[in-house]
Structure 1
Amino acid sequence: MVLDRQGYDDLIMYLTQNLALFEKPGEIKPGAPTIMALIEDDIAENVMLICQQNKALSTEQRSQIVREVDGIVYDLQEVLSSVTSNQVTIEQHAFIDEFAALVKNLFDSAVAEKI
């Protein structure tokens, strides 16, 4: 659906271009989640939105979305493995929110083509 598209390659390139955000210290709000927890929560929220906004998706299509999202989260975990248990900084939080929204956009485009 999206993992084999140029848009996903561009998204990973965007991540690699912004890795410096995860290598430098920054301001952490009290009670901030870990980087991995935020990634999982943000992406899960966006997957739920995709499914809510596209009620015509079949069970098979929804399963494919979940499988691919698992692959995306795995890729993020691999790239950010040395920092996933750190609390997220304010800058990292903004980037992760944006990244999750871009993932949703990829799926929105793919779903629009399939329906």
Structure 2
Amino acid sequence: MVTDKDGYAHLIQYLSENLELFTNVGTDPSDNTVMELFEEQLSAQIIMICGQNPELSFAQRNTIIREIDAVVYDLEEVLGKVAGQPATVEQIHFISEFSGLIKNLFDQEVREMLN
């Protein structure tokens, strides 16, 4: 669905190119880890997609959920050890932006799915 598209590969590359943001421990860390924030943001985006598209069938929603699980797995692989560290303000902003870009990929796929 999404993980086999060029746009997704570009986003993972974008994350990889910005890993230095996650290796630099900043000041004022949050209570949440980097991975917790990715999971929260992506969950919120998927809920939004499903809410915006009530015509999605149960099977289509399950496909989306399985796909987001694959995204989370990929993020864990790319982020490695830094996934468990407390997120900084800069990281929180990046995670929010990245999650929005992932949502855009899902929006495109859902449109195609429903047409």
TM-score normalised over the length of structure 1 = 0.94
Q: How many pairs were matched up?
A: 114
Q: Counterpart of 1:15 in structure 2: which amino acid?
A: L
1:14 partner letter:
Y
Could you list the runs of 5+ residues in structure 1 that have no partner in the other structure?
Answer: none
Deviation above 6 Å: which 4+ runs of structure 1? none
Separation of aligned partners in 2, 1:61 and 1:27: 42
What residue identity is the alignment partner of 1:75? D
Q: Which residue of 2 aligns with 1:27?
A: 27
Taking the aligned partners of 1:107 and 1:82, their CA distance within structure 2 comes to 27
> Unaligned stretches of 5+ in structure 2?
none
Q: Encode CA deviations 1:38-96: one digit per residue, 9 max, x unaligned.
A: 11100000000000000011111100100010000011011112111111011110000
How much has 1:22 moved relative to structure 2? 0.6
Q: Which residue of the partner structure matches residue 96 of structure 1?
A: 95
**3-state SS of paired residue (1:81):** helix
1:97 Cα deviation (Å)?
A: 0.5
Q: Partners in 1 of 2:43 and 2:55 — Cα distance?
A: 19
Letter in 2 for 1:96: I
The answer as to whether partners of 1:35 and 1:88 remain within 8 angstroms in 2 is yes
What secondary structure sits across from 2:83 in the alignment? coil
Shift of residue 28 of structure 1? 2.2
Q: What is the distance in 2 between the residues matched to 1:10 and 1:69?
A: 16
1:11 is matched with 11
Q: Could you say what the CA RMSD is over the residues aligned between the two structures, in angstroms?
A: 1.0
The answer to which structure has the higher helix fraction is: 2
The answer for the alignment partner of 2:55 in structure 1 is: 56
TM-score (norm 2): 0.94
Q: Sequence identity of aligned pairs in percent?
A: 46
